Amino acid sequence: MSIHMVHDKFFYNNEILIHMISFLICFMLIIFTVNNSQANSNDVSVSSRPKDISKSIFSDIQTLPILFQGKMHDDVITVISPKNSPLIFSDSPAKSLQSLYVIDVSDYLKGITGFSAIRNGGVNNEPVFRGMFGSRIRILMDNGEILGACFSHMDPVSAYIFPETFDILNIIKGPQTVLWGPVTSAGTLQFERYHPQFDKSKIQLRSNVTIGANNKIDKNIDSIMGSKYGYIRLIGNVSRSDDYHDGNKDQVHSAWYKWNADAILSFNLSADTYLEVSLGQGNGTANYAARSMDGLCFARESYGMKIETLDISKTLDKIELQAWHNYVNHIMADTVSHNTELSTEKCCGFSGNINNNVDRLIWGARGITVSQWDNIKCHSGADVQINTHREHMKSNSNWKTDIVSRDTGIFTELIFDSLSNRRFTGGTRLEYSVINFNNSSKYKRHGIVYPAGFIRYENNINPLLSYYIGVGTSFRLPDYWELFYTKFGENINIDDILKLKPEKTVQVDIGASFQHLQINGWISSYAGYVKDFIVCDYRNDDAIQDAISYAENIHAKICGTEVGLNYQFNEHWHTATNISWVWGMNIDDGCTLFRTPPLEGKITCQWIRGSYSITAKWRLALAQSINDSLMSPGSFVSRNMLPHTDVNCNTSGFGILSMNFAWKSSQFYKFSIGVDNLLNHSYREYLNSCVHKRLGYPSGTLIYEPGRTWWIKLGMEL
C-alpha cells in the first residue's frame, strides 16, 4: 500500500491547513493593530445575555470560560467537584486536569461516578457508562458526532478526542433530553469549547508539559487572541508513551503516539450575533495487547461552522445554526507478526501490502430556536446527519462504500415552571433514519420513522433539598458493528441483517440531592425495560479478526444507581465518596447480562492550604464472577459489555491508592507531582479481555492494569 492511498482526497491536505492557520493569524494581527490604541484590560466579559437553558437541573451545566477561570478561583485546583445535579454532571476538563494526569477520554471518564472502561492497550480504550458503550452512549464534540471506522472497534471515540483541549463536559444521564439525536438509552456526553466575549484586545496562553513513567511525555498548548471584533484560538497537543508495566513488572504491549491541532476563528457580526469557524486535524499510532492487530493510523479531520444570534425579540431568545464535518481514517496491521514498524515520526508513513484501511465521513447540520413566554421556555429545532463508511479494496486500490446512513430529526423540549420551586420538563422527537447497504452482489435501502421522548418532574423542596423523577423512551437502530457482524464473510445476506430489530427502551430515572452544613450528597437511580436488546457473540481470535460473529435480539431488564457524598471538615480538609452499581437480566433466558461492571466506589481526601494541596484517592471494586446457575447453556456474550473469551475471567476485588501534590508557585506557574497505584498493586479490571495469542503468551493470559506510575506536570498560564 502506498502513502498516496492514505492521502485520500478527503484528507491529509496539510498545506491547505497551514495556509488557513496563517490567514487566521494574520487576520487577528490586523485586529490587534487596529485596536492597539485601546488600553488593555484583564477583564473578560462573560455574556450577561439570557442563558439558553433555564435555571433548573440544567443550571449546573458549565458556562464559564475555562481559559480564564484560573483568574476567578483559588490558586489551587480543587479536585472535589462542587455539587452537581444527580441527573446532569458538569465538569471542566481543561480546569480539573490542570493538576491531574489522564491518558485519554476513557481514562478521564473513569474518574466520574458510573464510568468504567474496556482496555485495548495503553490508549484508545473504550468508555463504558452504566455497563453500556458504543451507540448506546452519544458522545458529541462541539455538538457534532464523531465515530470510529474500524470493523472491530479498534478506534473508539477516545482515539479522536483529547479531553484537556475542551472547556466543558456535560453528561445527561438516560433518555432525558431530545435536543441531540437519535436519543440514546445510557446518556449523552457533550465535549464543548466555550465562546468568550472580549471588551478589549487581549492575548492569553495556557500550556503544560507532563513527563512520567514508561518514557511518557505530553505537551499541550492553548492560546487565544481576542478583541471586541472576535477572537482566534489555537490548540495543540502531542502525547507519547512506551509499553507500560503491570504490578508484576510484566511488560504490556501498549505503546502509543498521538497528536491533535485545532483552530477556532470567531467574528462578532453584531453585539448579539457571532459567526464561528473551526478546523482541526489529528493522528496517532497505538499498540494493542488485546487485539489481533495494532493501529498504525488514527487520522482525523474536522471542520465546523456555527452562527448564533441572541435577544431577537421579547419572546425569541436565541437562534443557532451549526454544521460539522468529521472524517476519520484508520489503518490496522499486525506489527508483531509482520514486522511493520510502529513509527512515532510519521503515523502513516509506511508501505506494504496491508489490506486493513477503513474510513468514515460524518457531516451534519443543526438549527435550534429558544423561546420564552412567561414561565415557559421552549427549545425546538431540526437536525440531519449523514454517515458514510468505506473500505479500501486491495484488489483494485479503490475505495468501496459499504453503508451510508442518514438521520433526520425534529424536536421540541419544554420547561414549565408551575411554581417557584417546581418544574416540569418534557420533550418529544421524531426521527427518520435511512440506511443504504451496498456490496458487490446486492444493494438495499431501509428506512424507518420512530419517536423518542421524556417527561420529568423536579421539586426543590427547599434550597437544601431537591428531587426529580422522569420517564423516558428511546429507539435505537442497530449500529454499523451490529449490522455488519458478518463483515468478514465473503457474501453478506442483507435480508438476514435486516432481521435484527431495533431496540426500544423505556426507562425511569429518579434522584435527589441535599445539603446540610458541611455535608452534601446526591443519588441517581434508574430502572428500565429494553425490548429487542441486541446482544452479540464476539471473539478475539485470528479466524475472524476480532469481529462479531453472531447477533440477535432479546428482552432485558436493567437498573443501577450512583451515589455521592461530600464532607468539608474545615477550610483545609475536604473528602468525597461515591459508589456505582449496575445490574441487567436477559428475560428470555432468565440469566444475567454477561460482564456488567462490579460494584465500585471511590474515596477522595484533599488538604488545601494557601498555594499547596495534597490529594489522595482510593478506588475500590468488589470481586466479580459469572454465576453459572444464572447463565443458560445457550447464552452468549454481549458485545456491548465485553469481547468474549473461553477463559475464566472472574476477578478479585481490589483497592488502588493514588496520590498527588500540587503547588502554584506564582500567578502564572503551577507544579504537580503524583503517583498512580502507589502500592504497585497487581490487578485487572473485570471488563478487560485477554492478551492476544499473536504476542506469544499462553492462551488465556489476562491483561493487567498499569503498576506504580509516577508523573510530573508543569503548567503555565499567562
Q: Is 357 in contact with 6 (CB distance < 8 Å)?
A: yes
User: What's the mean per-residue pLDDT of the chain?
Assistant: 80
Percentage above 90 pLDDT, the chain: 55
Predicted local confidence at residue 494, as pLDDT: 61
Give the pLDDT of residue 493: 61
Whether residue 7 lies inside any domain: the answer is: yes
* Domain contains 233: yes
Spatial CA neighbour of 695 closest among 159, 103, 155, 121:
121
DSSP output for 334-400: -TTTS-----SS-TT---S----EEEEEEEEEEEEEEEEETTEEEEEEEEEEEEEEEEEETTTTEEE
Quick: pLDDT tens for 318-355: 999 999 999 999 998 877 655 444 443 344 434 444 55
Residue 27: in which H helix or E strand, if any? Answer: helix 14-34
The Cα–Cα gap between 314 and 312 comes to 7
pLDDT in tens, 87-117: 999 998 988 887 788 888 999 999 999 999 9
Determine, yes or no, domain membership for 191: yes
Task: Decide: 348 and 6 in contact? Cβ < 8 Å.
Answer: yes
385 is a domain residue: yes
Do 559 and 526 contact (CB within 8 A), yes or no? yes
CATH number at residue 549: 2.40.170.20
Number of domains in the chain: 1
* The pLDDT value given to residue 626: 62
Measure the CA–CA gap between 199 and 47, rounded to whole angstroms: 11
Per-residue model confidence as pLDDT tens digits over 350-381: 444 455 899 999 999 999 999 999 889 999 99
| pLDDT digit string, tens, across residues 664-688 | 888 889 999 999 999 999 998 888 8
Residue 580 pLDDT exceeds 80: yes
Furthest-apart CA pair in the chain: how many Å? Answer: 79
pLDDT mean over 592-611: 90
- The answer as to whether 14 is a domain residue is yes
Residue 254 has φ and ψ, to the nearest 5°, of: -155, 15
pLDDT range class, residue 486, cuts 50, 70, 90: very low
Per-residue confidence (pLDDT) for residue 510, from 0 to 100? 97
Q: For strands 465-476 and 503-516, give the pairing.
A: antiparallel
- pLDDT confidence of residue 218: 95
Range of the domain at 166: 3-258+273-717
pTM: 0.84
**What is the pLDDT averaged over residues 693-702?**
74
> Any idea which residue has 479522536 for its cell?
160
pLDDT for 501-555, tens place per residue?
Answer: 899 999 999 999 999 989 999 999 999 999 999 887 655 444 444 555 567 889 9
Is residue 479 pLDDT above 60, yes or no?
A: yes
Contact assessment for residue 292 and residue 317, using Cβ atoms and an 8 Å cutoff: no
Residues 6+ apart with CB under 8 A from 309: 270, 272, 273, 318, 319, 320
- Please tell me the distance from the alpha carbon of residue 173 to that of residue 87, in angstroms, as a whole number: 6
> What pLDDT shows up at residue 536?
76
Whether 188 is in a domain gets the answer yes
Residue 18 class from Cβ within 10 Å (0-12 exposed, 13-18 middle, 19+ buried)?
A: exposed
Tens digit of each residue's pLDDT (9 = 90 or more) over 248-276: 999 999 999 999 999 999 999 999 999 99
Give kind and range of the element (H or E) at residue 515: strand 503-516
**Residue 12 corresponds to which cell in the numbers above?**
491529509
Model confidence pLDDT, tens digit, residues 33-84: 434 433 343 344 433 333 333 334 334 444 443 333 333 333 444 444 444 6
What is the C-alpha to C-alpha distance for residues 88 and 459, in angstroms, rounded to an integer?
Answer: 15
Residue 305 to residues 132, 140, 266, 267, 324, Cα–Cα distance (Å): 31, 15, 10, 11, 6
3-state secondary structure of 163: helix
- Residue 129's DSSP bridge partners are 115, 132
Q: Identify whether the C-beta of residue 170 lies closer than 8 Å to the C-beta of residue 89.
A: yes
Assign 226 a pLDDT band (cuts: 50, 70, 90).
very high
Residue 492 pLDDT grade (very low, low, confident, very high; cuts 50, 70, 90) = low
Which helix or strand (DSSP H or E) is residue 5 part of? helix 3-6
- The C-alpha atoms of residue 73 and residue 64 are separated, in whole angstroms, by 11
* pLDDT of 166 higher than 50: yes
Q: Report d(CA 280, CA 97) in Å as an integer.
A: 22
Asked whether residue 539 is assigned to any structural domain, the reply reads: yes
Torsion sign (Cα): 632, 638, 642, 646: positive
> Is residue 268 in some structural domain?
no
* Cell numbers that stand for 278 in this block: 473551526
**CA torsion 63→69→74→80, rounded to 10°?**
50
Q: Give the model's pLDDT for residue 80.
A: 46
pLDDT: is 224 or 435 the higher one?
224
